[in-house]
Amino acid sequence: MASAFDSTLNTPKSKLPLEVWAGVECTVNRVGEEYFDQLERNGHATRLDDLDLFAQLGINAIRYPVIWERIAPNGLENADWWWADERLGRLRELGICPIVGLVHHGSGPRDTSLVDPEFPEKLAVFAAAVAKRYPWLTHYTPINEPLTTARFSGMYGHWYPHGQDDLTFARALLVECKAIALSMQAIREVNPNAQLVQTEDLGKTHSTPKLSYQAELENERRWLSLDLLCGRINPTHSMWGYLRDCGISKTELEEFLQYTCPPDIIGINHYLTSERFLDENLENYPAWTHGGNGRDKYADVEAVRVCAEGLAGPRTLLKETWERYKLPLAVTEVHLSCTREEQLRWLNEVWNAAQELRDQGADVRAVTVWALLGSYDWNSLVTRSAGYYESGVFDLRSPRPRQTAIAKMVRDLATGNKPNHPLLDTPGWWHRQERLLYPAVSCRLSLPSPPLSSPVSNRPLAIVGATGTLGQAFARLCEVRGISYCLLRRQDMDIANPASVNKVLAELQPWAVVNAAGYVRVDDAEREPDVCLKVNAEGAAILAAACAQHNVALLTFSSDLVFDGAESNPYVETDTVAPLNVYGCSKVLAEKLVLQAHPASLVIRTSAFFGPWDDYNFVTIALRQLAAGNTFVAAEDAIISPTYIPDLVHTSLDLLIDGENGLWHLANKSAIAWSDLARLVAKKAGVSVSSLIARPTQELGLIAARPAYSVLGSNRGELMPHLDSAISRYLEERN
């Protein structure tokens, strides 16, 4: 077994391939008196076997936390090392080189802060203890993204110590950089060859001509942490005057020159939101984007939403960094909170940019797949604990971390194979025209990006059921997601006719088929069972057999009506089916035949559709009738888990792209009677429920028997949002 000593991180670039590194989101930041710990949120704090899952990806190194606030919150004399002992030891056994982080967007234990003059010495003492305990460690990031942390903690007030002025920002940055230098000095007393992998987010600022002076300041300021560590901040440097204006004394700056510590590898972290655009035309932007610098008022928005030419992007930022420092580079975070295909497109684009620059002579060592386990509440910059989860290489919403499609891409990259998913043919949303939320403005500082037009993939997604609510929703959301598709009517492909199905699959060569067609009239099925069975079961089986023959993935849908309602807890995928009506029987048979014919098929059971784009679902009809003051009757004793169609489509597509198969239950988290659903939606919409009449199901005159309880749960993964969220978004979309 290779050891961490054998990592090519220490090897100068020659003909070695671009490496794949990885990282666990491990922020431990402080807001007021509360600490937000990502390792507790993502469960890695208690799951040692995560490391074996990571090793299966083929990664060379991992950015890994030995966080000061976690190990020694009450002083080094009370440090608890067992967690780091166990994890670092296992990584060593697996042959994965840890790049150890000591502070990750944090400010240290409670007895210190980023503006504490003793912070650098205190962190250096902890760093020395780490090095002495693990003398075999070779790579360190004592403080992650010091400039970003200083801005969020000292300039914007998001994190402790919640400064909102230039002096607190500058003081925090100098303290962090001194802490990095002293920490590496202490570490190198134990291991003279220890390497500093210094990370930073180098987002670029663009602006209108009037605000070019502010953009130039911010574009120079983004290099501050690296320039400080490289000993470049002297009286002739453009930022010397800026730091003096912030309130830093000349003596402090001169003294800092003794704490220089050039990185051995510069780690670039880049996010789509990191590039900003400044515009004095406030009327074009919402009020929450408005701000200023004391001289001019302006909106500060994401450049991707306004720059006509697109972003500077990862290649440009890497090139600028290489030309400025001529030091080895790595991309140390690649993550995107988005749909699965966009996550794949972003990783692919960053990898290609790094490879291209490397081929041109830049010493680019690696690309780091970040947030292996996803992350929590970064949509609020980790200032609150709201439970907002972004999945990563693994999805934590299953009983154990579930591999997503990103895992396959990582293994491909790690083994030198070029990712070839058809969805990579379309540029990411950040290149497409629909990204623009505001009037397009030329960003003179950015370089042209790939064309905004989306090429049509040679292998589309085939959607069967062009006239139905579900088929229409798939087409609509594929359009939004940049997924090339072909929407098929019955006259285009009759799934009950094997010859028709095979002909279309041979001609289209889709990468997957979504079967959104079906017989859905539950009561009518009792009168014409043969028709229902032919469409729902026989047709689905024929389609599955053809997909298996053509090696095409299949997604098809089943129903909560496969259950009899005898339970009082949510049904999971392994529960016994016992349908009460013909429609439910047709779905049970369909599940069996589809999975027999094509075991790789993804069969999703769902329940009680409602959506914003059709006028004939229960929720929409209830609102319309109640708003008009008309009587509306609904069952008071049938408990269901309603499903918001956009959530269903998005989650189904993600699972399909991930290569999932077998039975999955997807419904919004809830257990509610039909009448209470109408009441809840009306209340949220501000509509009176005085004309709502709740009745027992047996009084509604329904022909087909229904289960009294058909709530769907899952033992495979709770992927859908709560019903309250779904209804709020439904009402926003309808309005």
Beta strands in 561-696 (DSSP E): 602-606, 609-610, 632-635, 639-640, 643-644, 662-665, 672-673, 692-695
Let me know the angle formed at the C-alpha of 385 by 643 and 398, rounded to the nearest 5 degrees: 45
Query: Annotated catalytic residue: which of 140, 160, 583, 709?
Result: 583
161 preceded by a cis bond (ω within 30 of 0) = yes
**Alpha-carbon gap, residue 132 to 128, rounded angstroms:** 6
Characterize the bridge pairing of strands 290-292 and 375-376. Answer: unpaired
CA-based radius of gyration for the chain: 28
583 among known catalytic residues: yes
Helix 645-658 with 469-481: angle, nearest 10 deg: 60
Residue with tokens 């008022």: 297
How far apart are alpha carbons 662 and 604 in whole angstroms? Answer: 8
Q: Half-sphere exposure of 453 toward its Cβ, with a 13 Å CA cutoff? A: 2
First to last CA, the chain: 60
Query: What is d(CA 314, CA 9) in angstroms, rounded to the nearest whole number?
Result: 21
- CA-closest candidate to residue 102, choices 75, 78, 84, 85: 84
Cβ-in-10-Å burial (0-12, 13-18, 19+) of 111 comes to exposed
Q: Are 531 and 519 in contact (CB under 8 A)?
A: yes
Closest CA to 422 of 602, 600, 550, 553: 553
Alpha-carbon gap, residue 174 to 196, rounded angstroms? 17
Do residues 638 and 706 lie in contact, with contact meaning Cβ atoms separated by under 8 Å?
yes
**Residue 483 region by backbone torsions, left for phi larger than 0, else alpha for psi between -120 and 50, else beta:** beta
What is the rounded CA–CA span in Å between residue 590 and residue 543? 11
Q: Say how many CA atoms lie within 13 Å of 708 toward its Cβ.
A: 7
User: For residue 364, what are the β-bridge partners?
Assistant: 329
From the list 553, 660, 531, 549, the residue with the least C-alpha distance to 604 is 660
Provide the annotated active-site residues.
Answer: 583
